Structures are given as C-alpha cells and as structure tokens.
Structure 1
Amino acid sequence: MVLFTALVVAVGLERLAELVVARRNAAWSFARGGVESGRGHYPVMVVLHTALLVGALVEVWVRRPEFLPPLGWPMLVLALGAQALRWWCIATLGPRWNTRIIVVPGLPLVDGGPYRWFRHPNYVAVVVEGFALPLVHSAWLTAATFTVLNAALLTVRIRLENRALLDAPR
C-alpha cells in the first residue's frame, strides 16, 4: 500500500506540473487572441480528476484489497503508458496544449505526433489512466466510478472542443 500511495502521489505531482504548463500556455494563447470555451464543465473535471486520486488512496487504505500481480503489473504498465502518451501530446501541441479549451484563431489543426492517429489522444490517456491507476492495487470501486463519470464528462468536453475547433477562424 505504501508503494501504491507513492505512485498516486507521484501522479498528483505530475498533475500539478500539468497545471503549471497549462497556466503558461493559457497566457501564450490569450496573448495571441485565444478564445476559451466550455468553462462550465471545467470545475467538474477538476473535482473528478482529484477524486480519482483521493478515491484510489481511500479505497486502498480503507478496503485494503490485496495486490494482485497478474492485474497490478499490467495496470501499472498501462498507467505509466498513459502518462507517456499525455506528455507526448503536451510536447506535440507545445504552447497550444491546455487543460482548458482555448483555441487560437488562425492556427491550423495539429496532425503530427499522436494526433496523426487519434483526434483526441490526450483523452485516450485520461481514459486509460482512469481505470488503470486504481487497478494497480485492485481499487475496483474507484476505477468503475471514475470510468462512468468520466465517460459522461468526456461526452460533453469532446463535443465542446470539437465545436470550438470547428468554429475557430483558420
């Protein structure tokens, strides 16, 4: 449980690093006329993603599920792979990447890196991390709850992001 806690804390620190990058990138985007969309769902997303980390820790420390190597090790690989994919997205988008939906008019859509294969690869990383991270230590309840709630949130978010990208002047 201690190693799992360290993993979740490390992911939490990674998320804080993302927020630093996002804040810097938001300033860059707004300085170039960036337009933000979908502010209403953003606080829900922050709460949900925080609840993933807290929920996984609480479930593991309260329920005390057994670490199951045939499940835990593959889920650890998937969770780490999700982190790698997320940072590949961040590197590919550069200053255009953000946790918020901010579109800079006049910029073409990015079609390199993981965007060559997926329209929203960062959300692939979020989905994988959402079930894999808790399942590293058999936190089934957190994995299932986050997955269902995140599916609803992503339905809204992807619709808003697609609309913002479509409506932006090129």
Structure 2
Amino acid sequence: MDWYALLIALVAVERLAELVVARRNAAWSLARGGSEFGRGHYPPMVLLHTALLAGCLLEPALADRPFLPLLGWPMLLLAVAAQALRWWCITTLGRRWNTRVIVVPGLPLVASGPYRLLAHPNYVAVVVEGFALPLVHTAWVTAGCFTVLNAWLLAVRVRCEERALLVCRAAA
C-alpha cells in the first residue's frame, strides 16, 4: 500500500502543477480579451477530482482491499498512459490549455496533436484515469462513483465548451 500512496501523492503533485500552468494560462488568456464560461461547474469539478484522490487512498485502507496484480498492473499502465495523453494535450494547446473554460476571441481551433484525432482528448485522459487509478489497488467503489459523477460533469463541461466556442465565433 505504501507504493500506492506514493503513486497517489505523485498524481496530487501533478495536479498542483496543472493548477500552476492553468493559472498562468488563464492570466495570459484574460489579458488577450478571453472570456470565461461555466464558472458554476468548476467547484464541483475540483471537489470530484479531489475526492477521487482521497477515495484512492481511503477505500483500499478502510475496506482492506488487496493489490491484485492481474488487475493492478494493467490499470497502472492505463493510468500512466492517461497522464501521457493529458500532458500531450497540455503541450499541444500551450498557453490556451486551462482547467477553466476560457476562450480568446480570434484564435483558431487547435487541430494538431491529439486534437487532430479527437475533439476532447483531455477528457479521454480524465475518463481513463478516473477508473484506472482507483483500480490499481482495487478501489471499486471509488472507480464506479467517480465514473458516474464524472460522466454527468463531462456532459455539462462539453456543452459549456461548445456553447463558449459558438458565442465567440458569433462575436467574431
């Protein structure tokens, strides 16, 4: 369990790094006339992602969940792949990447990197990580609860992003 706690701590540090990047990018976007959309769903998103990490630690400890190598190792590979995809998205979007929905008028849509393959590749990373990370140490309840709540939240988020892009295109 100690190595799993270290894994979750490393993911938490990665999340903090994302927030640093997001704050810097938000300032850049807003300084260029960017508009933020969907502020209301942001706090629940932060809470859900924080709860994911807490559940990853608490469920295996409190429910005495074992590490099952046939499940754990493939899930670890998926969780690492999700991180790689997430950072490919962050790198591809550069200053335009954010944890918030901020659209800068006049900037074209990004159609390179993973965005040439998928409309929302970062959300693929979130979905994969959301079930894989808990299942590394058989946190079934955490994986299931996060997946269900995240599906609802992503539906809200994608609608918000699509609406934000439409508003910005209409204003251009």
**TM-score, normalised via structure 1 length:** 0.99
The residue identity in structure 2 corresponding to 1:30 is L
- Kindly indicate whether residue 109 of structure 2 is the aligned counterpart of residue 109 of structure 1: yes
Residues in 2 aligned to 1:165 and 1:128: alpha-carbon distance in whole angstroms:
25
> Identical aligned pairs, as a percentage?
71
The residue identity in structure 1 corresponding to 2:140 is W
Residues in 1 aligned to 2:64 and 2:93: alpha-carbon distance in whole angstroms:
40
Residues in 1 aligned to 2:28 and 2:99: alpha-carbon distance in whole angstroms:
14
Cα displacement string for residues 30-82 of structure 1 (whole angstroms, at most 9, x for unaligned residues): 01000000000000000000000001100011112111111000000000000
**Deviation >3 Å, runs of 4+:** none
Output aligned runs, 1:9-158, within 5 Å: 9-158=9-158
Structure 1 residue 146 displacement after superposition: 0.2
The residue identity in structure 1 corresponding to 2:39 is R
Residues in 2 aligned to 1:12 and 1:56: alpha-carbon distance in whole angstroms:
11
Gaps of 5+ in 1: none
RMSD: 0.7
Residues in 2 aligned to 1:149 and 1:142: alpha-carbon distance in whole angstroms:
11
Residues in 2 aligned to 1:129 and 1:166: alpha-carbon distance in whole angstroms:
29
Q: How many pairs align?
A: 170
The residue identity in structure 2 corresponding to 1:114 is P
Could you say what secondary structure the match of 2:102 adopts? strand
Could you say what secondary structure the match of 1:88 adopts? helix
The residue identity in structure 1 corresponding to 2:16 is L
Name the residue aligned to 1:165. Answer: 165
The residue identity in structure 1 corresponding to 2:114 is P
The residue identity in structure 2 corresponding to 1:95 is R
